[in-house]
Amino acid sequence: MKTENENSFFEFINDIIDFFTTLGKRVVKTLSPEQTALLAADLEAFNKRCKEIADAHYEREERYQNSSDNTCPNCLAKKGDIVNKIRQVQGNGSVDGSFSSSLFYGSGSVHGSMKIDTFGVNHCNACGNEWKKYNKDFKSTRQVAQDGVKYVSRLIQDPEEYKWAKDLAKVFEGCYVETILQFAEENRYSLYSSDEEVLCFSKLNEYFKSIWDDPNNKKELKHLFYK
């Protein structure tokens, strides 16, 4: 039974198939059972890679947090000497109230408020040093996919300038063009116009295989990741 994510994926594929051409001929708007199975496997593998990257990112952030919060940067004291404390930060405010005066035969009002923010800090009992708690940077599987789409676009536009993006774009390595197009469409709001120019079927098919490619066609794709 297909998940909601898979259903939306195949609906998208059916919507864009009308724009595909093979050797100048219109492609029939029907996925074969074999193509459907291949795309479903591609989507599953892609989602698994995204989750693995997101999980690895979380584990790194956990290590950074433990290191930062459990070691004093001043005297290098360890967890046993470090305690949690709350600090207050006084924000901007205004005065609020009313008054009357027989001396000046007048009355009036004045209004105001004051905002007090609190935040946790690490306090070292060994040396008295205090420092902010580490703020973990979470990255969801969806964010990994969004980043992958953008970095694929950057690599296609200029593989030399954006060669640093190769590892970040590898989440799509080996994927079908149709899978990349699906995620490009889902994240179009975060893309630049230059991204949209290269994230199209004809351009992507120079670097990635399509579900519609002739298996007997030995056309060599460009090496996007191994230049």
Q: What digits encode the pLDDT tens for the residues 7-29?
A: 666 566 555 544 443 333 344 45
- Whether 105 shows a pLDDT value over 80: the answer reads no
pLDDT for 21: 39
The DSSP call for residue 79 is G
- From CA 108, how far away is CA 83, in angstroms rounded? 49
User: What is the mean predicted confidence (pLDDT) over 136-148?
Assistant: 88
List, for residues 143-195, the tens digit of each pLDDT value.
Answer: 898 899 999 999 999 888 888 888 888 899 989 999 999 888 888 888 888 88
CB 146 within 8 A of CB 171: no
User: What is the mean predicted confidence (pLDDT) over 67-83?
Assistant: 93
pLDDT for 18: 43
Domain boundaries, the chain: 4-66+138-204, 73-132
Phi-psi region of 195 (alpha: psi -120 to 50; beta: other; left: phi over 0): alpha
- From CA 221, how far away is CA 209, in angstroms rounded? 8
Give 109's strand partners. 98
Highest mean pLDDT among 37-46, 101-110, 187-196: 37-46
pLDDT for 71: 95
Work out the burial of residue 153: count CB atoms within 10 Å of its CB; fewer than 13 is exposed, 13-18 middle, 19 or more buried.
buried
Strand positions, DSSP E, the chain: 21-22, 25-26, 82-101, 106-124, 130-132
Instruction: Tell me the CB-side half-sphere exposure of residue 67, using CA atoms within 13 A.
Output: 6
pLDDT band at 72 (very low <50, low <70, confident <90, very high): very high
CA distances from 7 to 23, 40, 137, 158 (A): 29, 10, 31, 34
Ranges 72-76, 87-91, 130-134: which has the least confidence = 87-91
- From CA 184, how far away is CA 70, in angstroms rounded? 41
